[in-house]
Structure 1
Amino acid sequence: MTTYMGSGEVSTHRTDYTPDWLGKLAEDVTLEAAVMNGVAKGPEAVRSILSFARTLYDYQEFNVIGRYGESGFVEDYVATVRGEPIGSIVVIRYNEAGLVGNIVINHRPLRSVLLWSRIMAEHFAATEYGTFFLQPEDLPYAGGQEPVQ
């Protein structure tokens, strides 16, 4: 079974998870993700993006949630977004003050990454965060371009 499909056990599906670290963002926090172009900077941008992103999950099924090393935290989970399976690894790095300095989120598979990014682009289209997400020119065949051979 692929790692993003989950166990299929409905009793492990959570819809109530709110990460504690989301309330502890440093002023210079950054967010990078497989669904994004560029790096979001600052607590307002990170909270805006993640607050909406969290609403997209039908559920989350966690494999791991917890501290790692002296200054890190990790979440490993699978979920569905509009019925499509998605796996996520979230790596949180705390700064010397104990605040979240950097968030990196990796998703899989590609089909779900593209779906997620498209939904985010539509939601944030009229905002300063819209360009972080999938744009028509990002697609390999955009604008009638010929496929690369």
Structure 2
Amino acid sequence: MSTYLGSGNTDLHRRDYRPAWLDNLADDVTMEASVLNRMVEGANAVRQILAYARTLYDYQEFNYVGTYGEHGFVEDYTSQVHGEPIGSIVIVRYNDAGQAQHVIINHRPLRSVLLWSRLMAEHFANTPYAEYFLSPELAQEVLGSDTAA
């Protein structure tokens, strides 16, 4: 069974999770993700992008949330975005001051990654953040007409 499908137990679906690391970003934090065209740099950009991204989840079903090595944190969860299943692994590396310095987000499967990137591009169209995401036109071409908004 694919891990991004979750358990199917709706009692495990959370809609209230807010990671503590999001409130403790280094000024020069970087974020890489499978839904991004390139790395995002700076606390404000990361905060703005993740603030909207978090609204796309229908819920989050966590497999694991906790420390990762000496200076890290990891989240492993599944969800749905517009009815499409999506799995996520988030790795956060802290600097010596205990601030989130590097955020790496891996989503799967590819269809959901492309859908996510398209939704983000539509939301951030005509802003400096639009360049980080797959253009809605290209996403629709890749995914097919069944994903039209």
Amino acid at match of 1:5: L
- Distance in 2 (alpha carbons) for counterparts of 1:102 and 1:79: 23
Tell me how many residue pairs correspond in the alignment.
142
Give the match for residue 113 of structure 1. 113
| CA-to-aligned-CA distance 1:54-89 (integer Å, 9 cap, x gap) | 000000000000011110000000000011100000
TM-score by length of 2: 0.91
- Measured on the aligned residues, the alpha-carbon RMSD in Å equals 1.6
Give the gaps of 5 or more residues in structure 1.
Answer: 143-149
Given that residues 120 and 133 in structure 2 are in contact (C-alpha distance below 8 angstroms), is that contact kept between their aligned partners in structure 1?
A: yes
Give the match for residue 44 of structure 2. 44
| CA-to-aligned-CA distance 1:21-52 (integer Å, 9 cap, x gap) | 00000011001100000111111000000000
1:4 aligns to what SS in structure 2? helix
Amino acid at match of 1:22: L
Give the match for residue 147 of structure 2. none
- Distance in 1 (alpha carbons) for counterparts of 2:81 and 2:137: 24
Given that residues 119 and 136 in structure 2 are in contact (C-alpha distance below 8 angstroms), is that contact kept between their aligned partners in structure 1?
A: no
TM-score by length of 1: 0.91
- Distance in 2 (alpha carbons) for counterparts of 1:82 and 1:58: 7
Higher helix content, 1 or 2:
2
Spell out the pairing of 1:68-147 with structure 2 (5 A cutoff). Answer: 68-135=68-135
- Distance in 2 (alpha carbons) for counterparts of 1:90 and 1:138: 26
Spell out the pairing of 1:15-54 with structure 2 (5 A cutoff). Answer: 15-54=15-54
Give the direction of change, closer, same or farther, for the CA distance of 1:60–1:136 in structure 2 (3 Å limit): closer
Give the direction of change, closer, same or farther, for the CA distance of 1:110–1:99 in structure 2 (3 Å limit): same
- Distance in 1 (alpha carbons) for counterparts of 2:137 and 2:20: 36
Give the gaps of 5 or more residues in structure 2.
Answer: 143-149
- Distance in 2 (alpha carbons) for counterparts of 1:60 and 1:52: 15
Give the match for residue 146 of structure 1. none
